[in-house]
Chains A and B, each alone.
Chain A
Amino acid sequence: EAGVVQSPRYKIIEKKQPVAFWCNPISGHNTLYWYLQNLGQGPELLIRYENEEAVDDSQLPKDRFSAERLKGVDSTLKIQPAELGDSAVYLCASSLAGTTLDNEQFFGPGTRLTVL
């Protein structure tokens, strides 16, 4: 069974440019998460989807970040415009469902973003 797939693995852009990250969750997983990991820290949640609905986006900086999960499968996270402080690893995770019993989360390899 394929794991969580993310692309690209690495991205280098100049500040003020837009950037997008793509995630394909494990087949059958209804819940999808985007996390941000800064160097030397644990990941922090940006947004959680239940199917196509964003049910927790309280930690997403909405002035420059946006996300979508059309058709409840793949998801895209966008930053426009990027700032120097956005340099980090962006991780996608999925779980069967966002309930107590089915919440074991599995992570993709991440996209390492460098903003120059």
Chain B
Amino acid sequence: GIQVEQSPPDLILQEGANSTLRCNFSDSVNNLQWFHQNPWGQLINLFYIPSGTKQNGRLSATTVATERYSLLYISSSQTTDSGVYFCAVDSGAGSYQLTFGKGTKLSVIP
């Protein structure tokens, strides 16, 4: 099946700093989603981005489908950004299941 690798596995930032999270995947995809899992375990949808670039406030994402990677940018980080960021892909072929990476654990310190 499709492989999803996220980097870095852990990231510690000072409040106000910027960061880039990366997601590499091993095959072409029909669906790519970025999630933020907050400390209470809720998976929050950030972006649905199988290709192209999207922005939502301080967050933006870019997926280069032909090169099989996606990037999540966080600018001016806040303590509330802490948690685990997951990239998940659906390779189609009738499956429609999301295959998740292992996540990037982000800690934003004041």
Contact with A along B26-45 (1 / 0, CB 8 A): 00001101010000111101
| Contact call A98/B100, Cβ cutoff below 8 A | no
Given contacts A44-B100, A56-B97, A109-B40, contact A104 B86 (CB under 8 A): no
Query: Once the chains bind, are A48 and B100 in contact (CB under 8 Å)?
Result: no
Query: Could you tell me the distance between the alpha carbons of A93 and B97 in the complex, rounded to whole angstroms?
Result: 11
A91 in the interface, Cβ–Cβ < 8 Å?
Answer: yes
How many B residues touch the partner, as a band? 20 to 34
Q: Which of B30, B33, B40, B102 meets A105, CB within 8 Å?
A: B33
Given A41-B102, A42-B102, A103-B31, do A31 and B42 touch, yes or no (CB 8 Å)? no
Which residue of B has the minimal Cβ distance to A50?
A: B96
Interface size on A, residues (CB 8 A): 26
Would you give the 0/1 interface string for A44-68, flagging 1 where the beta carbon is closer than 8 Å to chain B?
1100100000001000000000000
Chain B hits for A99, CB < 8 A: 96
Q: Does B88 count as interface, using CB distance less than 8 angstroms?
A: yes
B21 to chain A, nearest CB (A): 14
B66 within 8 Å of A by Cβ? no
B59 at the interface (CB under 8 A from A): no
Question: Per-residue 0/1 for B68-94: is the Cβ within 8 Å of any A Cβ (1 yes, 0 no)?
Answer: 000000000000000000101010100
Chain A residue nearest to B38 in the complex (CB): A109
Residues of A within 8 A of B (CB): 31, 33, 35, 40-45, 48, 56, 89, 91, 93, 95, 98-100, 103-107, 109-110, 112
Q: Which residues of B are at the interface with A, using a C-beta cutoff of 8 A? A: 4, 30-31, 33, 35, 40-43, 45, 48, 86, 88, 90, 92, 95-98, 100-103
